[in-house]
Amino acid sequence: MAYLKLATASWLTPIYLLMVAITVVAVVANVLKQRKLSAQIVGGMVLVPLVLRLLLVK
Amino acid sequence: MWPQIIAFVCMIGTFLLVAAVLRQPAALATASAAVVGLLVSGSLGQPYHLVEGAFGYFDVLLIIVSAMVFMAALESAGILEEISARMTQSLGGRPLPLALASMLLVMAPGMLTGSSTAAAMTTGRFVLPVLVEAGVPLARAGAFVAIGSIIGMVAPPVNVPVMIIGSGIDMPYVGFDLPLLFVAVPAAIIASLWLAASIRRSGKATAAAGRGAARAATAARGATAPGTGEPLRGERIPGAKVYVPIVALLIMMFGTRVAGRAIPDPGIPFMFAVCAVLAMFCGRPVKPWSAVQRGVDLALPVMGVLVGAGMFVQVMTVTGVRGFLVVSALDITRSWVFVVALIALPVFGAISAYASSSVMGVPILLALLGNNEVVTAAALSLLAALGDMLPPIALVPSLIAQSVEGGKDTRGAILKQLVVPGVLLALWAFVVLRWAPAIGKMLG
């Protein structure tokens, strides 16, 4: 309930959350298709702030 | 003071070891340096600083990913190819207009995304064969595309190094358009004159360049569209609809600024997202998810660098290294700060222009407070951006060389061609930096 309240705080918030969600899925897809470990780690690093922002944890 | 010096040396050492010796991505190098910094300072039990740092450039991260998706949509829809073909067909017989149009085309993605990589990997690849067709030697054409990519990265409306430097001293990204244009436009014109002279010398600046433009632009893309694997159809897109996404973007960007608070500003990522959707309807049929994935694939290395740079700066702040650098920079005689900026920013930028902006740009700007900070930050961003064409990584020349046959030899030849223009760009940045107050007064 608190999440929904925060996610609809303004008309732009759900749109931006959708953009972040699409980016998260695309980054995960990229990580899964990468063969190099370094590229997978970089993808994982990028996922940290994206997922936390998507969950509105931070 | 010694703990800060030891932590700083360890962090820079780790950074260089991972980036230059182990040849790992700059994102991993900055993140590794951050972890080592925490370890050396005895703060390894506080890993939340790494997460905190990862959010440091979150706004910039969203701008880059949405801009890259926009560029990927333009590319997949054949709009970039069509615009470059139209430009060169109408300007093929005139060297200077052709050079200026090519420069504008190369700069555009950099201007919109703040990334030289975006410019080199999108319009740069279309312009390169067109210039070769017009009679410019491959190495010089590659050098021109590299310079255009760097200048595009610095030109407004989006300049990521300035955003990073600004965030370090709580300076909003407002009022930078004119100073950034002042830095970028003369450099772009001189680079175009340099290229036009090459075309004239070759004597091939005839309608042949125009006739071959569409073919060359198509050839640059290979047999399939990059990333998506969709076969190229090569057919032209009729009408003015190819301009719709770009015009819509410009209207949104400038409309919100001109209208003030009358129109709510939805933010740059939102504008790019809307225009990416528009692009999918204004050209050839596009698979939307392929365009999104292609954009994210292109953006990921830069996003990684931003996350890593955020961690790096956060750990520098926690360990007191940042304060030590700022105090040391303030201790340097003011006239020497200009020289330090001229050398340190491009050299550090050779590993990452964004990291250089953060690590070197912020203390140097603090040391130059009162020197018109807006113009100073604009000049510092050009110095940091120059690092993208410096060895050992030479990011932009390497990307350009990869898109042509004989990549390794071409890279060396492009780097040789870049020596004089690179030095001139650095001197131009130095001039703007040194006389920033007068330039600021002139620009109002």
Looking at residue B234, what is its pLDDT?
58
B66-105 residues touching A, CB cutoff 8 A: 66
Is the overall model pTM greater than 0.80, yes or no? Answer: no
Total number of domains in chain B: 1
pLDDT at B331: 83
**Residue position matching structure tokens 């660098």:** B305
The alpha carbons of chain A give a radius of gyration, in whole angstroms, of 13
Give residue-wise pLDDT tens across range B185-231: 999 999 999 998 888 776 654 444 544 544 544 444 444 444 444 44
What does the alpha-carbon distance between residue B340 and residue B335 come to, in Å, rounded to a whole number?
Answer: 9
Q: Cβ of B24 and A38 within 8 Å?
A: yes
The answer to whether A49 contacts B307, with C-beta atoms less than 8 Å apart, is: yes
Are B31 and A23 in contact (CB < 8 Å)? no
Asked if residue A21 has pLDDT above 60, the reply is yes
Dihedrals phi, psi of B224, to nearest 5 degrees: -130, 155
What span, in angstroms and rounded, lies between the C-alpha atoms of B249 and B97?
Answer: 25
Q: Do A30 and B297 touch (CB under 8 A)?
A: yes
SS3 content of chain B, % helix, strand, coil (to 5): 75, 0, 25
- Which residues 281-300 of B are in CB contact (within 8 Å) with A? 292-293, 295-297, 300
Burial status of residue B349 (CB atoms within 10 A of its CB: 0-12, 13-18, 19 or more):
buried
Residue A51, pLDDT score: 96
Residue found under tokens 């690849």: B125
**Cβ B375 vs Cβ B435: under 8 Å:** no
**Nearest chain A Cα to B30, which residue?**
A42
Burial (Cβ within 10 Å: 0-12, 13-18, ≥19) of residue B199 = buried
Query: What local confidence, expressed as pLDDT, does residue B203 receive?
Result: 62
Distance CA B213, CA B352 (A): 34
What is the ipTM score, two decimals? 0.96
Q: Say yes or no for a CB contact (<8 Å) between B267 and A46.
A: no
Please name the member of B269, B273, B300 whose beta carbon is closest to the beta carbon of A46.
Answer: B300
CA distance B33 to chain A (A): 14
Q: Is B24 on the interface with A (CB under 8 A)?
A: yes
**The two structure tokens encoding residue B212:** 């071959």
Nearest-CA neighbor of B141 among B76, B208, B194? B194
**Distance between CA atoms of residues B245 and B247, nearest Å:** 6
Q: How far is A22 from chain B (nearest CA, A)?
A: 8
Contact criterion met (CB below 8 Å) for B320 and B133:
no
Q: Read off the DSSP letter of residue B224.
A: B
The rounded distance, in Å, linking the Cα atoms of B146 and B300 is 21
**Phi, psi at B133, each rounded to 5°:** -60, -35
Task: Tell the residue number behind the tokens 């991972």, with chain if given.
Answer: B18
In this structure, which amino acid lies at residue B173? Answer: Y
Q: CA B366, CA B329: separation in Å to the nearest integer?
A: 8
Query: What is the maximal distance between C-alpha atoms in chain B?
Result: 68
Q: Quick check: A46 and B31 CB within 8 A? A: no
Residue contact B307–A16, C-beta within 8 A: no
Residue B202 confidence (pLDDT): 67
In chain B the first and final C-alpha atoms are separated, in Å, by 42
CB contact under 8 A, A19 and B269: yes
pLDDT exceeds 90 at position A50: yes
| CA end-to-end distance (rounded Å), chain A | 17
- B47 backbone dihedrals φ, ψ, rounded to 5°: -65, -15
The predicted pLDDT at position B86 comes to: 83
Residue B299 near residue B109, CB atoms below 8 Å? no
A29 contact residues in B (CB cutoff 8 A): 293
Residue A43: list chain B partners with CB under 8 A. 300, 304
Range of the domain at B275: 3-443
Instruction: State the pLDDT at residue B224.
Output: 44
Residue B56 is predicted with a pLDDT of 84
Q: Which residues of A, range 22-41, sit inside 8 Å of B by Cβ?
A: 22-23, 26-27, 29-30, 38-39, 41
- CB contact at 8 A, B57 and B352: no
| Closest C-alpha to B383, from B411, B350, B417, B406 | B350
Write the single-letter amino acid at B42.
Answer: G
Give Dmax (Cα) for chain A. 40
Q: What is the pLDDT of residues B420-443, one digit of tens each?
A: 999 999 999 999 999 999 999 999
Which residues does B240 contact at the CB level (< 8 Å), separation at least 6?
none
For the record, the structure tokens of B139 come out as 């190495």
Measured in degrees and rounded to the nearest 5, phi and psi for residue B231 equal -70, 145
**B229: closest CA of chain A, how far (Å):** 15
Q: Which residues of chain B have pLDDT under 70?
A: 202-234, 351, 392-393, 403, 405-408
Q: Which sign, positive or negative, has the C-alpha torsion A32, A35, A37, A39? A: negative
B2: closest CA of chain A, how far (Å): 31
CB B382 within 8 A of CB B390: no
Q: A58 and B269: CB-CB below 8 Å?
A: no
- Residue contact B51–A39, C-beta within 8 A: no
Identify all chain B residues contacting A45, using CB atoms and an 8 Å cutoff: 27, 31, 54, 304, 307-308
CA distance A7 to A11: 9
Looking at B174-221, list the stretches that DSSP marks H as alpha helix, in order from N- to C-terminal side: 177-202, 207-219
